[in-house]
Amino acid sequence: MDEGSFPKPVLIYDGDCAFCTRSVSVLKRLPIDAEVTAYQFTDLELYGTTEDRATHEVLWVDPTGRIHGGAQAVARLLISAGGIYAAAGWMLRTPPVRWIAAGVYRLIANNRQRMPGGTAACALPPAARGSVSG
Protein backbone atom coordinates (compact mmCIF):
# COMPACT_ATOMS: atom_id res chain seq x y z
CA MET A 1 0.00 0.00 0.00
CA ASP A 2 1.36 3.41 -0.95
CA GLU A 3 1.73 6.08 1.73
CA GLY A 4 -1.50 8.08 1.83
CA SER A 5 -3.42 5.34 0.00
CA PHE A 6 -5.80 3.08 1.88
CA PRO A 7 -8.13 0.27 0.79
CA LYS A 8 -11.16 1.98 2.34
CA PRO A 9 -12.01 5.03 4.44
CA VAL A 10 -11.24 5.10 8.16
CA LEU A 11 -13.29 6.75 10.90
CA ILE A 12 -11.12 7.63 13.90
CA TYR A 13 -12.76 8.60 17.20
CA ASP A 14 -11.94 9.02 20.89
CA GLY A 15 -12.43 5.58 22.43
CA ASP A 16 -12.00 6.91 25.97
CA CYS A 17 -15.08 9.11 25.63
CA ALA A 18 -18.33 7.29 26.42
CA PHE A 19 -20.42 9.79 24.42
CA CYS A 20 -18.11 9.41 21.40
CA THR A 21 -18.18 5.62 21.64
CA ARG A 22 -21.97 5.59 21.89
CA SER A 23 -22.28 7.97 18.92
CA VAL A 24 -19.96 5.82 16.81
CA SER A 25 -21.93 2.68 17.71
CA VAL A 26 -25.01 4.37 16.21
CA LEU A 27 -23.09 5.45 13.09
CA LYS A 28 -21.71 1.92 12.63
CA ARG A 29 -25.28 0.73 11.98
CA LEU A 30 -25.30 2.66 8.71
CA PRO A 31 -24.41 0.78 5.51
CA ILE A 32 -20.82 2.05 5.30
CA ASP A 33 -17.73 0.23 4.12
CA ALA A 34 -15.15 1.84 6.37
CA GLU A 35 -12.80 0.86 9.13
CA VAL A 36 -13.94 2.33 12.45
CA THR A 37 -11.28 2.61 15.13
CA ALA A 38 -10.50 4.42 18.36
CA TYR A 39 -7.47 6.66 18.03
CA GLN A 40 -5.96 4.94 21.07
CA PHE A 41 -5.55 1.77 18.97
CA THR A 42 -4.54 3.48 15.74
CA ASP A 43 -1.21 4.40 14.18
CA LEU A 44 -2.15 8.07 13.79
CA GLU A 45 1.12 8.86 12.03
CA LEU A 46 0.21 6.35 9.31
CA TYR A 47 -2.92 8.41 8.62
CA GLY A 48 -1.09 11.73 8.75
CA THR A 49 -2.68 13.04 11.93
CA THR A 50 -1.90 13.56 15.60
CA GLU A 51 -3.30 12.60 18.99
CA ASP A 52 -4.06 16.27 19.61
CA ARG A 53 -6.33 16.42 16.57
CA ALA A 54 -7.92 13.02 17.29
CA THR A 55 -8.90 14.13 20.81
CA HIS A 56 -10.38 17.34 19.40
CA GLU A 57 -12.64 15.87 16.71
CA VAL A 58 -13.77 12.71 14.96
CA LEU A 59 -11.73 12.12 11.79
CA TRP A 60 -12.63 10.61 8.41
CA VAL A 61 -9.63 9.57 6.35
CA ASP A 62 -10.61 8.86 2.75
CA PRO A 63 -8.79 6.25 0.65
CA THR A 64 -6.49 8.94 -0.82
CA GLY A 65 -5.37 9.91 2.69
CA ARG A 66 -7.27 13.20 2.85
CA ILE A 67 -8.51 13.93 6.38
CA HIS A 68 -11.86 15.50 7.18
CA GLY A 69 -12.63 16.45 10.78
CA GLY A 70 -15.63 17.22 12.92
CA ALA A 71 -18.94 17.81 11.15
CA GLN A 72 -17.29 17.27 7.78
CA ALA A 73 -16.10 13.82 8.91
CA VAL A 74 -19.72 12.99 9.75
CA ALA A 75 -20.82 14.40 6.39
CA ARG A 76 -18.32 12.16 4.54
CA LEU A 77 -19.47 9.12 6.52
CA LEU A 78 -23.11 9.85 5.62
CA ILE A 79 -22.21 10.31 1.95
CA SER A 80 -20.43 6.96 1.96
CA ALA A 81 -23.58 5.29 3.35
CA GLY A 82 -25.53 6.25 0.23
CA GLY A 83 -29.24 6.83 -0.24
CA ILE A 84 -30.98 9.25 2.08
CA TYR A 85 -27.87 9.34 4.26
CA ALA A 86 -25.84 10.64 1.33
CA ALA A 87 -28.38 13.41 0.77
CA ALA A 88 -27.99 14.45 4.42
CA GLY A 89 -24.20 14.30 4.08
CA TRP A 90 -24.22 16.50 0.97
CA MET A 91 -26.45 18.96 2.80
CA LEU A 92 -23.92 19.10 5.66
CA ARG A 93 -21.26 20.06 3.11
CA THR A 94 -23.22 22.96 1.65
CA PRO A 95 -23.12 26.50 3.09
CA PRO A 96 -24.83 27.76 5.22
CA VAL A 97 -25.70 24.32 6.65
CA ARG A 98 -21.96 23.52 6.68
CA TRP A 99 -21.26 26.51 8.94
CA ILE A 100 -24.14 25.69 11.26
CA ALA A 101 -23.07 22.03 11.45
CA ALA A 102 -19.52 23.06 12.35
CA GLY A 103 -20.81 25.26 15.18
CA VAL A 104 -23.16 22.59 16.51
CA TYR A 105 -20.42 19.95 16.29
CA ARG A 106 -17.98 22.15 18.23
CA LEU A 107 -20.63 22.95 20.88
CA ILE A 108 -21.33 19.24 21.38
CA ALA A 109 -17.64 18.26 21.30
CA ASN A 110 -16.76 20.91 23.87
CA ASN A 111 -19.54 19.68 26.17
CA ARG A 112 -19.49 15.95 25.46
CA GLN A 113 -19.08 15.09 29.14
CA ARG A 114 -22.54 16.65 29.70
CA MET A 115 -24.20 14.80 26.83
CA PRO A 116 -26.25 11.62 27.32
CA GLY A 117 -23.77 8.78 27.76
CA GLY A 118 -20.94 11.19 28.54
CA THR A 119 -18.74 10.68 31.57
CA ALA A 120 -16.22 12.75 33.47
CA ALA A 121 -13.47 11.04 31.44
CA CYS A 122 -14.77 12.79 28.31
CA ALA A 123 -13.74 16.16 29.72
CA LEU A 124 -10.26 15.21 30.86
CA PRO A 125 -7.07 15.52 28.86
CA PRO A 126 -5.89 12.11 27.55
CA ALA A 127 -3.08 11.78 30.12
CA ALA A 128 -5.54 12.05 33.01
CA ARG A 129 -8.21 9.70 31.69
CA GLY A 130 -6.68 6.49 33.04
CA SER A 131 -7.37 7.56 36.62
CA VAL A 132 -11.13 7.96 36.15
CA SER A 133 -13.32 4.91 36.55
CA GLY A 134 -16.59 4.89 34.68
Decide: helix, strand or coil at residue 50. Answer: coil
| pLDDT above 90: residue 133 | no
User: For residue 80, how many other CB atoms are within 10 A of its CB?
Assistant: 20
pLDDT digits (tens, 9 = 90+) for 65-91: 999 999 999 999 999 999 999 999 999
Helix intervals (H) in the chain: 18-27, 51-56, 71-81, 83-92, 97-110
The rounded radius of gyration (Å) of the Cα atoms in the chain is 15
Give the phi and the psi of residue 128 in degrees, each rounded to 5: -95, -10
* pLDDT at residue 41, rounded to an integer: 96
Distance between first and last Cα of the chain: 39
* pLDDT at residue 5, rounded to an integer: 85
pTM score: 0.84
